[in-house]
Amino acid sequence: MENFEFYTPTKIYFGRDTHKKVGEIIAGYGFHKILLHYGGGSIHRSGLYNAIVTSLREHDIAWVELGGVSPNPKLSLAKQGMELCRAENVEFILAAGGGSVLDSAKCIADGAANPDVETWEFFEKKREPQGALPVGAILTLAASGSEMSASCVITNEEGWFKRGFNSPYHRPLFSILNPELTFTVSPFQTGCGIVDIMMHTMERYFTLSENVDLTDHLAEGLLKSVIAAGKRAIDNPRDYEARATLMWAGSLSHNDLTGAGRQVFMGVHQMEHELSGMYDFVAHGAGLSVLFPAWAKFQYPYATQRFCQFAVRVWNLEMDYEHPEETAKAGIAATEAFFASLGMPVRLRELGIGAEKLEEMAEKCTFFGKRILPDYKPLGKAEIMEIYRLALG
């Protein structure tokens, strides 16, 4: 087990009707003026918007609004938010939506509190923020884990770079998790979320670190629960217990619990960021669903026993002690079949993507040859190209 720090200060309010307390919760922190940040029209259609502003009014909290966050949230909108926060002396940002809205809110929070710095430099890891506005969330999508995580991923339209960075200031002050708010999430978006949750766990699971039995078991348990609940949530979108399992698993999958004491690479995420950064129509979860099987087929010969453990403990497959590579492959196949059963794509061609831009994506992913991603077999441009090609189908 490696040395680690663990810090998850976000207070969670989980369960039915919890979103109705948002005004009371914010007032408890002493904030009087907030930015209400959201995406498209769904929070109006669902009634969430009305519930929020009713609660804010009841607790004398003034607000300004910024909607319009898109999937793969954009730097340009976040910059509008930063200006709004400064002009209106906003003290706190409430993100009402999924991971995109949360990440956009975190980016606004970074920029608003660091006005003399070009915010993108944080994402290029040239600087670190010296504080941020506090952020809180009402989550409407179980997927990104951003509601408890230190991460923030933003797309810069100038060059279509999708980059993320971690900061302790990105941990929300609180997150309100009401599974009922995810009843209306479409089967496709539900599938994307399930893949994202599983990948946050699996990218921590496939590690080079040894003696990580405890976090292995936690990760395996989380994955088994998500696999069972995922099927049920797709079959019956209003299955509260399935939605609740996905929602809580989403938070635990990315709050560092399953990564404590391990080297974490997130290589599939890195490669996916180039994919959905290049092709804006690609949902993050769909990109992960395509790239994990390709990554796994490329890497399993270099970590066969770990892939066997995954196959046996997560997918309940029998170990083939004479041919462990067969067990490893069966675990990968089971994962791919599960993703497909959720309606997720598992090949680039299903997304209408061919080989045209694979080289450019591999270039960007290696920072134009300046970095090699650590992995079982480390990933330079040639290895990433091979994985992208394996994903073509």
Q: Name the residues that contact its own copies, by CB under 8 A.
A: 1-9, 11-16, 18, 211, 213-214, 216-218, 220-222, 224-225, 228-229, 241, 244-245, 248-249, 252, 257, 260-261
Cα dihedral 16→20→24→29 (10° resolution): 70
State in angstroms the smallest separation of the CB of 230 from its own copies: 12
Are 176 and 18 spatial neighbours (Cβ–Cβ below 8 Å)?
yes
State in angstroms the smallest separation of the CB of 243 from its own copies: 10
First to last CA, the chain: 38
**Closest to its own copies by CB, 167 or 225:** 225
**Closest to its own copies by CB, 189 or 258:** 258
Cα dihedral 24→29→33→35 (10° resolution): -80
State in angstroms the smallest separation of the CB of 279 from its own copies: 33
Instruction: Give buried/exposed letters for 2-29 (b at 16+ CB in 10 A, else e).
Output: eeeeeeeebebbeeeebbeebbebbbee
**Closest to its own copies by CB, 114 or 258:** 258
**Closest to its own copies by CB, 2 or 326:** 2
Structure letter (DSSP) for residue 379: B
DSSP one-letter string for 47-93: SHHHHHHHHHHHTT-EEEEE----SS-BHHHHHHHHHHHHHHT--EE
The dihedral sign for the CA sequence 372, 107, 174, 51: negative
**Closest to its own copies by CB, 242 or 275:** 242
**Closest to its own copies by CB, 81 or 179:** 179
Q: Is 321 in a helix, a strand, or coil?
A: coil
**Closest to its own copies by CB, 14 or 160:** 14
Six token digits for residue 336: 């791919």
**Closest to its own copies by CB, 173 or 351:** 173
- Three-state secondary structure readout of 197-261: HHHHHHHHHCCCCCCCHHHHHHHHHHHHHHHHHHHHHHHCCCCHHHHHHHHHHHHHHCCCHHHCC
State in angstroms the smallest separation of the CB of 220 from its own copies: 6
State in angstroms the smallest separation of the CB of 99 from its own copies: 19
State in angstroms the smallest separation of the CB of 361 from its own copies: 35
**Closest to its own copies by CB, 160 or 240:** 240
State in angstroms the smallest separation of the CB of 10 from its own copies: 8
State in angstroms the smallest separation of the CB of 114 from its own copies: 20
**Closest to its own copies by CB, 209 or 304:** 209
Structure letter (DSSP) for residue 144: S
Give the separation between CA 101 and CA 138, rounded to whole angstroms.
10
Give the separation between CA 164 and CA 146, rounded to whole angstroms.
12
State in angstroms the smallest separation of the CB of 212 from its own copies: 9
Residue 322: CB atoms within 10 Å: 7
State in angstroms the smallest separation of the CB of 14 from its own copies: 5
Give the separation between CA 84 and CA 298, rounded to whole angstroms.
47
Please list the residues that pair with 66 across neighbouring strands. 37
